[in-house]
């Protein structure tokens, strides 16, 4: 029967999915940073961008394309360095930001929200470690007789993203409450930008020194 899994299967998988979404990383840092700087609308734009980028990895895993990253050192290196450059570029932009001015514009400009969404997509999509993680993690929940392997991979990958609905929106809502303070205090906002910038530069360096394993 299609997608016929035991209760133990779902309990194990859903527990892992929630724990994965609670773990810190570039995606969570990007969402929280954008929320603190630009408010809830900006935070949700960042969140949807991250989800969209992660969903691309789910599709790649289901189609088997993620295996290319795991087996080809050249392809992995290309994606890794593109992601590294992009994260460091985001970090430099944040370090150069004037803080409060950006926050005020981000709340009122649809163009800013679209830009943040695109950045979120790229932050998630250009991380080859995410692709390899999906490739290593999802097959553990594939069961014989439960349907085509690609369909099972797609289902479980999609559910990992769906689990984020219970984790990340509440963080955006809470973070949005701090926006008024940051946007009205240029000094605090500026240091917030510098901290976020340093974080992204650090994440870029970490990605640059990472291996496929």
The answer to whether 96 and 175 have CB atoms below 8 angstroms apart is no
Q: What is the pLDDT of residue 191?
A: 67
pLDDT at residue 105 is higher than 60 = no
pLDDT tens-digit readout, 109-150: 778 899 999 999 998 888 777 777 787 778 888 888 888 888
Closest listed residue to residue 44, CA positions, set 205, 179, 209, 153: 179
C-alpha 36/C-alpha 51 separation (Å) is: 19
- Residue 19: Cβ-neighbour burial (10 angstroms; 0-12, 13-18, 19+): exposed
Largest CA distance in the chain: 60
Average pLDDT over residues 86-112: 66
pLDDT at residue 108 is higher than 60 = no
pLDDT at residue 2 is higher than 80 = no
CB atoms within 10 A of CB 12: 14
pLDDT tens-digit readout, 4-37: 889 999 999 999 888 878 877 778 888 888 887 7
């Amino acid at each position: 029967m299609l997608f016929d899994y035991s209760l133990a299967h779902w309990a194990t998988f859903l527990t892992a999915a929630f724990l994965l979404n609670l773990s810190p990383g570039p995606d969570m840092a990007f969402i929280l940073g954008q929320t603190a700087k630009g408010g809830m609308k900006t935070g949700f734009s960042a969140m949807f961008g991250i989800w969209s980028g992660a969903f691309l990895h789910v599709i790649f895993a289901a189609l088997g394309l993620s295996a290319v990253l795991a087996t080809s050192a050249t392809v992995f290196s290309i994606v890794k360095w593109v992601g590294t450059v992009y994260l460091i570029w985001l970090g430099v932009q944040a370090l150069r930001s004037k803080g409060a001015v950006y926050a005020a514009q981000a709340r009122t400009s649809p163009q800013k929200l679209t830009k943040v969404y695109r950045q979120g997509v790229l932050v998630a999509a250009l991380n080859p470690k995410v692709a390899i993680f999906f490739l290593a993690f999802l097959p553990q929940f594939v069961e014989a007789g439960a349907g085509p392997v690609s369909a099972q991979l797609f289902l479980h990958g999609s559910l990992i993203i769906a689990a984020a609905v219970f984790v990340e929106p509440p963080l955006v809502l809470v973070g949005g409450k701090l926006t008024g303070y940051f946007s009205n205090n240029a000094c605090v906002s500026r240091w917030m930008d510098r901290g976020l910038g340093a974080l992204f530069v650090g994440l870029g360096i970490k990605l640059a020194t990472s291996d496929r394993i």
